[in-house]
Amino acid sequence: MPLRCIEKEGVVYLFRDEFDMIVGSEIIVDRQYETPETPPPGSVFIDIGCCHGVWSCLMSKRVTNAKLLCIDPMPVNCELTRLNLEQNGHPTENQLILQAAVGRGSCMEFQDCMEGGGRLNVPVMTLGHLLDAVKLKWGSEDVFTLKSDCEGGEYGFVETMTQSDANHIHWFVGEQHSGVSDSYDLEPRLNALGFKKVTSSMEHLFKYKRA
């Protein structure tokens, strides 16, 4: 599929189709994952379900010397994220792109529709795994914003969070997927881990700050 290019508010990004373009617009123009606080220079961001990497590109543009860990189970998404970070001049030493998923268990098998219908096996990572990767890469475990859009994987990811790992996250924002686990509510578990909910203008989004 040929890639097209668009620029919005100073972020240049390559995209495959109309869905990619809409997702990019929601992130950049609607500011759906924006927090009320301005991240300091050198902040670390984790982008779970990075898709084409537009949110990471936005953080790269807005935060001097931003450190970006991007994670997605689909190899084509990881490659497009790499290309988009390159398009926006983000230094390779300040990025880490992982082909993996989050949730329960140690590995996940899924149908990769964008790779001709093949089956893929990827590791499933906990917050502890991601913080270890951040520490190994940049020598710090503190994360300003953890952004999650992982098609229901957020439930298992939150369940497996430990208190000591949660203490390293300042903001946890993302899209909550109803219908994946209707009986599960993120809020009680996140409250128990010391996060306080911040009102979002969109019902399907969540924003929590460490109290």
Phi-psi region of 96 (alpha: psi -120 to 50; beta: other; left: phi over 0): beta
pLDDT at 183: 57
The CATH number of domain 4-210 is 3.40.50.150: yes
Express each pLDDT in 148-181 by its tens digit. Answer: 999 888 999 999 999 999 999 999 999 988 765 5
User: How would residue 119 be classed by pLDDT, with cut points 50, 70 and 90?
Assistant: confident
Confidence category of residue 116, pLDDT binned at 50, 70, 90: low
Residue 201 has pLDDT above 90, yes or no: no
- What's residue 107's pLDDT? 76
Q: Using an 8 Å Cβ cutoff, are 210 and 195 in contact?
A: yes
What are the angstrom distances between the C-alpha of 27 and each of 34, 56, 120, 121, 200? Answer: 8, 10, 28, 29, 14
pLDDT at 200 over 80: no
Q: What is the pTM of this model?
A: 0.93
Domain boundaries, the chain: 4-210
Burial 69-106, CB ≥16 within 10 A → b, else e? bbbbbbeebbebbbebbebbebeeebbbbbbbbbbeee
